Amino acid sequence: MSTSTSQILGFLVSNLGLVGCIAATEMDMWGIQDLYENPVTSVFQYHGLWRSCTRQSSGFTECRPYYASLRLPAMLQAVRALMIVGIVLGAIGLLVSIFALKCIRIGSMEDSAKANMTLTSGIMFIISGLCAIAGVSVFANMLVTDFWMSTANMYTGMGGMVQTIQNRYTFGSALFVGWVAGGLTLIGGVMMCIACRGLMPEETNYKGVSYHAQSHNVSYKPGGFKASTGLGSNTKNKRIYNGAAHVEDEMQPHPSKYDYV
């Protein structure tokens, strides 16, 4: 899979998951009433994160929001916080991923900057998906715990006679929407992180070149000093000190008749 394809697919899958997280948070059917052993079937109750609803057999539905937030269970408030944090992180990752797309050029933005933005958005999508999955799983655990506690309290007395009738709630459609949406957001974030590696510019390897100073091979000649002069030519003096030859070039122009004026 090419880098552009992986990035675009990750972008689309993450956006689809983010939309699903928002829809699951707004839905009311997180927990629905279990009618298996309930003799009263004319009233159907269900509740979500923000309100509880009652639907009658006539089709009339009445919903009441949770007014007193401080009276709500701590786990329900934790689920709210997880879903809101997941949506906020997903929205920020969406904005960053738009500018990180390879098919969109903004000024003279380099590929390394797009790679960093792609990685950032991918990490945000991953955290967003984990928050959504964690929030839905916590709520599902609450439903399972309350279901079995209600079942145990229903059957009391001698001979397993039913003494009380309590409403039991089971999984609603919002839970499945939240699980799927969180998984899609997580998968999209992983694909964005994989696409980041292909967007990084290739490192240029420069071969090292060693520098060697130029050496003057001067043959030793007895005689100590040898000088040669010529009209209009440069004078080259070769001096030998302690058996080692050193060459010094001295530029001496020939005097002309105008120098004596």
**152, 53, 87, 22 alpha-carbon torsion, rounded to 10°:** 120
Give the strand order in the sheet containing 31-33: 61-65, 51-56, 43-47, 31-33, 169-171
| pLDDT band for position 249 (cuts 50, 70, 90) | very low
What is the model's pLDDT at position 232?
A: 44
Closest alpha carbon to 83 in 4, 22, 37: 22
Structural tokens at position 44: 């159907």
Stronger pLDDT, 76 or 213, i.e. the higher one: 76
Domain locations along the chain: 3-199
Cα–Cα distances (Å) from 150 to 30, 145, 199, in that order, read 18, 9, 55
Share the mean pLDDT of the chain: 76
| pLDDT band for position 227 (cuts 50, 70, 90) | very low
**Beta-bridge partners for 63:** 53
Give burial (CB, 10 Å; 0-12/13-18/19+) of 210: exposed
Q: What is the Cα 146 distance to its own chain's centre? A: 37
User: What is the assigned CATH class of domain 3-199?
Assistant: mainly alpha
Pick from 101-105, 148-152, 156-160, 224-228 the range whose average pLDDT is largest. Answer: 101-105
Q: Could you tell me if 122 and 10 are in contact, meaning their C-beta atoms sit under 8 angstroms apart?
A: yes
Angle CA 76–77–80, to nearest 5:
90
